[in-house]
Amino acid sequence: MHIPKIVFEPVPLEKNIEFVKWAYFQSDNSLDIHSYTINCFPELGNNREDASEEEIYEIIEKVVTEVYNKNISKINSEILRYSEIWKKYNDLYFNSLSKYLNVEWPDKDICCNVGIMPVCPRYLDSFDFCISVDTPSDEVIRVFAHECCHFLWFEKIKELYPNIPRREYDSPYNAWQYSEMVVDPILNSNEIKSVTGVSEKAYDSFYNIKDNDGNYLMDVLKDIYNSNISIEDKIINGYDYICSVLGD
């Protein structure tokens, strides 16, 4: 069985800029990406309310380029630090996750791009994700476990639900929301938490959703994943349940 390795590289400047452009204009209530962007680049909080999108893009290019170039040496040193943190978890975590989900890893490695990022985007098709500099050690482990869980999770989803279109693996579709919810029961399971030693939470907004009986969706989902049934039944029962609550 293939066990992937994480390969570390700097986020290319252009990719860093383009992601910040996207993040600046996000208004999804499940994760306030715009606010995270302003926290990461405070200068962007001074934009005029009547500034055009083109003007804001120009400002973002200037600000991100300056911050990125100022932090080139830090980006490279963080690559070494993150690599050192993760190396003792890599094989055991990926093997444990494969056993938990009962699916094998594809025959390719995962790329972690380090840059100046407001949040940690992942790219399912290319098996890569991003993380920002100055991330504390426990958070590094949590982010790596979280993002890499998604890569294998969707391999399992392809197996169980081959007719779900690829676009529904992304926001705002149910398949995407489900993938973000299950990180709680999966990464907090005894099998996985005993490896990473860190706790995980889904987006805060998910914990406020109730079903028609007044039960909190996340509580019911965790009960399903804590039950003594196969992982396939857990996934199917969980997906049926969240679709009944969220609608098709």
Express each pLDDT in 14-52 by its tens digit: 999 999 999 999 876 556 788 999 999 999 988 877 789
- Per-chain mean pLDDT for the chain: 95
Please indicate, yes or no, whether the overall pTM of this predicted structure exceeds 0.85. yes
Q: d(Cα 27, Cα 13) in Å, to the nearest integer?
A: 24
| 214 exposure class (CB count in 10 Å sphere: 0-12, 13-18, 19+) | exposed
Amino acid at site 139: E
**Ranges of the chain whose pLDDT falls below 50:** none
The pLDDT value recorded for residue 26 is 85
Q: What is the distance, to the nearest Å, from the Cα of residue 192 to the centroid of all Cα atoms in its chain?
A: 17
